[in-house]
């Protein structure tokens, strides 16, 4: 072994204690300022357009019609406007969700789809299409069967031409305001078959709407889904709460709070 000097180890540089923290302080302060500005902007936007808003205003004004007439008789609409205090009082009186375990959802337990429960000779789907579409044309061989019409869609605010057919009918679908799966989870699982069928075919619970929006909504309550067109949200939560009240379903805290939040923004 030679007697040469061992190669010296290089000393690693390390920052002085506290130097890194001092350098980060301006950056963190800048991030905090950005968060505050974004929060203010979001708050201003929500105040203008309502919760979960898309920029459009929320309005308590409603147009007259068969569905609104039901709400008038229930004391929830007065002089062409939603009575926010009355809807809130009704919603506050709904039973809280007991959070009990329920059996697996069974669509068949709600009876045949679109059964003619009102006895007018037409199934409920065609009844709703006839009510909600304009320029309705029916089949020459079946006066109940709607073959075409135009929908002024309440969920999107768009106009949709409906033409019955294997590839076209899905453009307009019939929505249950209170989804049947939601109703099942909030008490309908324990009902009689007859009561479940009444809910599934209640014309006040049904609405012709844009097909893709109906698919997007699926079985969600107001806490996680509201119509894309904010102009309809006040009437939407009113109708939702009305059906829940009519059938004495329970409601969870999140959906109750969402209804109250929307009503609070209705002008």
pLDDT of residue 31 exceeding 70 = no
How much is the pLDDT for 96? 97
pLDDT of residue 249 exceeding 80 = yes
103: tokens are: 């059996």
Query: In sequence order, which ranges of 134-205 are alpha helices (DSSP H)?
Result: 180-185, 193-201
Which of 154, 161, 172 shows the shortest CA–CA distance to 68? 154
Q: What is the dihedral of CA 255, 258, 263, 264, to 10 degrees?
A: 140
Supply the pTM of this predicted model.
Answer: 0.81
Among all chains, which residue has been given the structure tokens 């949709």?
A: 160
Largest CA distance in the chain: 113
Residues 172 and 207: beta-carbon distance below 8 Å: no
- The tens digit of pLDDT for each residue in 82-98 reads 999 999 999 999 999 99
Exposure class string for 184-195: b at 16+ Cβ within 10 A, else e:
bbbbbbebeeee
Which of 109, 108, 126 shows the shortest CA–CA distance to 118? 126
pLDDT of residue 229 exceeding 60 = yes
pLDDT of residue 226 exceeding 80 = yes
Exposure class string for 24-51: b at 16+ Cβ within 10 A, else e:
eeeeeeeeeeeeeeeeeeeeeeeeebbb
Q: Cα separation of 207 and 125, whole Å?
A: 9
Q: Cα separation of 103 and 105, whole Å?
A: 6
- The tens digit of pLDDT for each residue in 107-126 reads 999 999 999 999 999 999 99
């Amino acid at each position: 072994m030679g007697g040469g000097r061992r190669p010296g180890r290089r000393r690693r540089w390390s920052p002085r204690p506290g130097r890194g923290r001092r350098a980060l302080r301006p950056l963190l302060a800048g991030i905090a300022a950005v968060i505050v500005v974004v929060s203010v902007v979001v708050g201003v936007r929500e105040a203008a357009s309502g919760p979960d808003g898309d920029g459009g205003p929320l309005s308590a004004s409603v147009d007259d019609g068969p569905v609104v007439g039901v709400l008038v008789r229930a004391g929830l609409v007065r002089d062409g406007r939603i009575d926010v205090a009355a809807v809130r009082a009704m919603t506050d009186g709904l039973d809280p969700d007991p959070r009990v375990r329920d059996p697996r959802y069974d669509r068949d337990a709600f009876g045949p789809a679109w059964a003619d429960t009102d006895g007018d000779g037409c199934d409920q789907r065609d009844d709703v299409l006839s009510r909600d579409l304009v320029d309705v044309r029916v089949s020459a061989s079946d006066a109940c069967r709607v073959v075409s019409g135009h929908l002024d869609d309440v969920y999107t605010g768009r106009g949709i031409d409906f033409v019955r057919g294997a590839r076209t009918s899905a453009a307009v679908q019939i929505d249950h305001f209170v989804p049947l799966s939601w109703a099942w989870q909030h008490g309908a699982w324990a009902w009689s078959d007859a009561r479940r069928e009444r809910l599934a075919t209640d014309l006040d619970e049904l609405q012709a709407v844009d097909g893709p929006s109906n698919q997007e909504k699926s079985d969600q309550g107001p806490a996680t889904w509201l119509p894309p067109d904010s102009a309809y949200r006040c009437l939407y939560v009113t109708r939702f709460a009305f059906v829940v009240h009519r059938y004495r379903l329970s409601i969870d805290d999140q959906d109750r709070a969402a209804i109250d939040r929307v009503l609070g923004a209705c002008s």
